[in-house]
Amino acid sequence: MLKFLKLFFNACLLLTFTSAISSEGPVLHMVLEKGVVKIQTFPEKAPKTVKRIIELSKTGFYDGLTFHRVISGFMAQGGDPNGNGTGGSGKNIIAEFNDVKHERGIVSMARANDPDSADSQFFICYDSHPFLDGNYTAWGKVIEGMNIIDRIPEGKGQNGQVLSNPTKIVTIRLK
């Protein structure tokens, strides 16, 4: 009986711990020309960033923007109204570096050298990149449609710039 109680207690503890670390935020549906990508947000890890991304999505900010920088095996970057990595919404987001590992499917904020310079641009990791951990604000994870992200053509320009026919974001919305 004691053995059973220990096993039961450990199982309850494990379930409690697992639910505490996996609290889920809203899911964003990013519609691309090639299909729908679902992004699970992490408001407990990056509350201000998630709030701002949702605000921009609700206003239609991302509608029609492109993935302007794509580096095979590294990441696909989008969210720039200028389409070349120089633009944003005009409102920077304070860095919320966290313990989320930059693994395949993680969505994180792009930024300049200033840690607090993230605005509207984000990137999706194609693979694990530990050098990004703790240096960029990870705010979500692709939970469906990573195969669509995998099909975004690699940029042929300098530093992965997409020179022609960039993949368009039709919309990003909460569902």
pLDDT in tens, 54-97: 999 999 999 999 999 999 999 999 999 999 999 999 999 999 99
Amino acid identity, position 51: K
Phi, psi dihedral angles at 172 (to 5 degrees): -130, 125
Contact 172, 52 (CB under 8 A): no
Domain locations along the chain: 24-174
Contact 146, 30 (CB under 8 A): no
First to last CA, the chain: 47
Provide the whole-model pTM: 0.86
9 Rama sector, left if φ>0, alpha if ψ -120 to 50, beta otherwise: alpha
Per-residue pLDDT, 175 = 83
Per-residue pLDDT, 159 = 87
Residues 6+ apart with CB under 8 A from 48: 93, 94, 96
Phi, psi dihedral angles at 59 (to 5 degrees): -85, -5
Residue from 30, 24, 26 nearest 173 by CA: 30
Per-run averaged pLDDT (10 residues), the chain, 175 residues: 45 41 82 98 98 98 98 97 97 98 99 98 98 98 98 90 93 94
Per-residue pLDDT, 23 = 59
* Class for the domain spanning 24-174: mainly beta
